[in-house]
């Protein structure tokens, strides 16, 4: 891989991982197995090791995956709430120990890794004053009132220390999760996927009385900061916290790595009997002075690692393969099998993804299969353990929904329905078109979209702009006010910038950032529609796959007809550079330190939206360095080179034209 290929692949990987992080940490709706996520991260690390000059500040190896969302007030963490380096074998544990023992003779604290939502609790003069989520490690969300509903969290402490901040993991017990899912299914609601997501969703309820009904628990596993008390060992802090009334994580001090590995094996055997989910075990240097000396990288401490257990596997019999059709026409096979208990929940179905994977498995209805939950979240078929004598399964060559031909295109793994008017595709396309990052049509959720499609009122996204009040009132659940709100949201979407429209079209591989880059390059939707493959390839970070995807989409006659309808309905086609901003065109910024209110990714997006560029290091070509708290060496270098230094407030003033 040469440098240019590495740069494009890194950009692609950054985008993929950022989307997975957003789905997991912000939406509480993971869409990828832990194994696949870990594989992507390993690929990033491998490329960055080979080409360190390509590493940027927004690399997923440089920051925690979470983000603060707008529902709650933001909280800036005085002490970073970082993540841990994952390891997947005992060999890696011994390598970790070897690194530590090159400096010290450590004892280790070994603890179960609770699968929940990481939070901070702050006490002043012994009274709980604030609770917050981890967010991206620097900025989280204030969820104090919801945390107060957890009965095991002390409101007042016996020792009235000036300041105590502790970190813990909020979880939902398995029996509470089973009760919640039963209630959701009875009410016709989408059931929560797993206890971790249920716990996270419960803590983000606007009504704390809803949180109170969810029977959440918490384990405290660290002292973040304390005034008026000192300690020498981590285990000592946990014992002290337990005396204060905190529910602390179970821990065992091991005098060497052999004892620690033995304890990790024990936790692996015990964990399915716990009333809560775990996703591993944590091994930490117990001596706090040794920790301080070992230090941390930009993302993880060097004194601890998290061991991930291999997923639990169960055998079952494959009874059926169901085929679903997505918005891009891809036919996705789903295995239906006898129910098994995995990671504390009942599982009876798992995606088989595509024909290539089924060919690799050699799978047929009637086979005995091994099933697991990757990361204890997403079910998957691992292998066939016993063939039942059936015919190896092949995806149909006709769409199971509309009956049109289904074909495999080029080297793609997916088999796709060739009918753009396929009802199944229409539903998914409409949902995507109305989604928050696309046209952001509030109120146009899955149930409403299905009614519109089933009634024949909407046969393409453009038909949304022909709806009237009578049409909407004909749908179940709508009255005058809600109908008016939906129509207003549709009307407001006409004013969206065209990069949203381009993303909303659902062109394979084109996300919000890619859509914005296309509009910046070509100036309008028309410019993108008429761009050649070579023109698109000239955009930094665009490779052959994306270029082919865009040109193929606009070579389709039906897509062209759809775009003409959008034009007739008054949607914006010309990219408004003044609105999007070209004020920073030709300027290079470097972000360093912790900003008071903005997370780094937000500031980066603002700068890029104004036409500027964000670099990872300071040089003579740098125009501005935006410096926050603990800015470090980049600030020093900027001062040495005479580069202009901005505070967050000064950056915002530049953006707002003040």
Read off the pLDDT of residues 135-182 as tens digits, 9 standing for 90 and up. Answer: 888 888 899 989 988 989 998 998 999 999 999 999 999 888 888 877
Active site residues: 113
CA distances from 439 to 129, 491, 497 (A): 39, 11, 9
Domains defined along the chain, listed by start? 3-54 (1.10.287.610), 78-307 (3.30.470.30), 313-394 (2.40.50.140), 423-577 (1.10.150.20), 581-655 (3.40.50.10190)
Q: Which residues of 359-385 are buried (b: 16+ CB within 10 A; e: fewer)?
A: eebebbbebebebbbbbbbbbbbbebe
Residue 563 pLDDT greater than 50, yes or no: yes
So what's the pLDDT on residue 535? 92
Kindly state the DSSP code that residue 536 receives in the 8-state scheme: H
Run of H or E including 122:
strand 117-124
How many angstroms separate the CA atoms of 371 and 315, rounded?
6
So what's the pLDDT on residue 606? 76
Is the distance from CB of 285 to CB of 291 less than 8 angstroms? yes
Name the H helices within 437-478.
446-455, 469-473
CA distances from 98 to 89, 105, 298 (A): 15, 10, 21
How many angstroms separate the CA atoms of 543 and 9, rounded?
9
**pLDDT tens figures, 585-623:** 778 899 888 887 777 777 887 787 777 888 877 888 899
Mean per-residue pLDDT, 203-215: 79
Q: Which burial class, exposed, middle or buried, applies to 76 when counting CB atoms under 10 A from its CB (0-12, 13-18, 19+)?
A: middle
Q: Bigger pLDDT: 311 or 397?
A: 397
Q: Bigger pLDDT: 566 or 324?
A: 566
**pLDDT tens figures, 245-280:** 999 999 999 999 999 999 999 999 888 788 888 889
Q: If you count DSSP H runs as helices and E runs as strands, how many of each does the chain have, helices first?
A: 25, 22
User: Which of 454, 452, 474 is closest to 463 using CA atoms?
Assistant: 452
How many angstroms separate the CA atoms of 562 and 514, rounded?
21
Detail the DSSP E strand segments found in 451-544.
none
Kindly state the DSSP code that residue 485 receives in the 8-state scheme: H
How many angstroms separate the CA atoms of 442 and 636, rounded?
46
How many angstroms separate the CA atoms of 331 and 398, rounded?
10
User: Which of 315, 295, 415, 396 is closest to 356 using CA atoms?
Assistant: 415
How many angstroms separate the CA atoms of 111 and 251, rounded?
5
Is the distance from CB of 153 to CB of 180 less than 8 angstroms? no
So what's the pLDDT on residue 22? 55
User: Which of 475, 428, 576, 597 is closest to 516 using CA atoms?
Assistant: 576
State how far Cα 434 lies from the chain centre.
Answer: 20
**pLDDT tens figures, 26-73:** 444 556 666 677 778 888 888 888 888 787 766 777 655 444 344 578
Is the distance from CB of 369 to CB of 315 less than 8 angstroms? yes
Q: At what angle do helices 648-655 and 600-609 cross, to 10 degrees?
A: 30
Residue 344 pLDDT greater than 70, yes or no: no
The overall average pLDDT reported for the chain is 86
Mean per-residue pLDDT, 634-657: 83
Mean per-residue pLDDT, 546-572: 91
Report pTM. Answer: 0.48
Residue 522's pLDDT band, with cuts at 50, 70 and 90, is: very high
Q: Report residue 35 as tokens.
A: 């194994």
Q: Which burial class, exposed, middle or buried, applies to 215 when counting CB atoms under 10 A from its CB (0-12, 13-18, 19+)?
A: middle
The three-class DSSP label of residue 488 is helix
């Amino acid at each position: 891989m040469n440098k240019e290929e590495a740069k494009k692949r890194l950009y692609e990987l950054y985008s993929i991982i950022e989307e997975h992080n957003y789905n997991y940490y912000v939406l509480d709706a993971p869409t990828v197995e832990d194994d696949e996520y870990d594989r992507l991260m390993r690929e990033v690390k491998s490329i960055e090791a080979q080409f360190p000059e390509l590493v940027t500040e927004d690399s997923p190896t440089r920051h925690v995956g979470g983000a603060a969302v707008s529902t709650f007030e933001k909280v800036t963490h005085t002490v970073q709430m970082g993540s841990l380096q994952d390891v997947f074998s005992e060999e890696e544990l011994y390598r970790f120990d070897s690194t530590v023992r090159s400096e010290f003779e450590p004892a280790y604290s070994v603890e179960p890794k609770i699968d929940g939502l990481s939070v901070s609790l702050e006490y002043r003069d012994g009274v709980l004053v604030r609770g917050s989520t981890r967010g991206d490690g620097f900025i989280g969300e204030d969820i104090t009132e919801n945390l107060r509903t957890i009965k095991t969290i002390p409101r007042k402490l016996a020792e009235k220390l000036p300041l105590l901040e502790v970190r813990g993991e909020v979880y939902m017990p398995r029996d509470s999760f089973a009760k919640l899912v039963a209630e959701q299914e009875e009410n016709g609601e989408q059931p929560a996927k797993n206890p971790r997501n249920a716990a996270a969703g419960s803590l983000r309820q606007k009504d704390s009385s809803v949180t109170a009904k969810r029977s959440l628990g918490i384990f405290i596993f660290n002292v973040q900061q304390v005034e008026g008390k000192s300690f020498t060992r981590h285990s000592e802090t946990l014992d002290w916290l337990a005396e204060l009334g905190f529910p602390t994580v179970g821990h065992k001090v091991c005098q060497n790595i052999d004892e620690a590995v033995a304890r990790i094996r024990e936790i692996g055997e015990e964990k399915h009997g716990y009333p809560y989910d775990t996703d591993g075990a944590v091994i930490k240097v117990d001596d706090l002075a040794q920790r301080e000396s070992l230090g941390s990288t930009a993302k993880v401490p060097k004194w601890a690692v998290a061991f991930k257990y291999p997923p639990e596997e169960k055998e079952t019999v494959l009874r059926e393969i169901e085929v679903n059709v997505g918005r891009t026409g891809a036919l996705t096979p789903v295995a239906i099998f006898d129910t098994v208990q995995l990671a504390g929940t009942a599982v009876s179905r798992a995606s088989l993804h595509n024909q290539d994977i089924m060919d690799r498995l050699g799978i047929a209805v009637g086979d005995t299969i091994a099933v697991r939950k990757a990361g204890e979240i997403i079910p998957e078929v691992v292998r066939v353990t016993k063939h039942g004598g059936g015919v190896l399964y092949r995806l149909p060559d006709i769409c199971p929904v509309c009956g049109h031909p289904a074909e495999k295109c080029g080297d793609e793994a997916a088999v796709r329905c060739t009918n753009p008017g396929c009802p199944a595709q229409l539903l998914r396309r409409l949902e995507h078109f109305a989604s928050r990052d696309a046209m952001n049509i509030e109120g146009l959720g899955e149930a409403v979209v299905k009614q519109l499609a089933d009634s024949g009122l909407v046969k393409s996204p453009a038909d949304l702009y022909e709806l009237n009040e009578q049409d909407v009132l004909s749908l179940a659940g709508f009255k005058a006010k809600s109908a008016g709100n939906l129509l207003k949201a549709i009307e407001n979407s006409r004013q969206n910038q065209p990069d949203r429209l381009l993303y909303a079209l659902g062109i394979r591989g084109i996300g919000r950032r890619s859509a914005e880059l296309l509009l910046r390059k070509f100036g309008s939707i028309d410019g993108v529609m008429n761009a050649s493959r070579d023109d698109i390839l000239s955009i930094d970070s665009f490779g052959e796959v994306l270029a082919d995807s865009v040109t193929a989409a606009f070579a389709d006659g039906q897509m062209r007809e759809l775009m003409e309808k959008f034009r007739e309905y008054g949607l914006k086609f010309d990219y408004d550079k003044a609105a999007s901003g070209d004020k920073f065109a030709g300027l290079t910024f470097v972000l360093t330190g912790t900003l008071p209110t903005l997370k780094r990714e937000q500031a980066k997006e603002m700068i890029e939206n104004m036409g500027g560029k964000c670099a990872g290091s300071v040089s003579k070509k740098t125009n501005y360095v935006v410096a926050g708290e603990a800015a470090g060496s980049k600030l020093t270098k900027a001062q040495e080179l005479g580069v202009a230094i901005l505070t967050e407030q000064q950056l915002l003033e530049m953006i707002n034209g003040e």
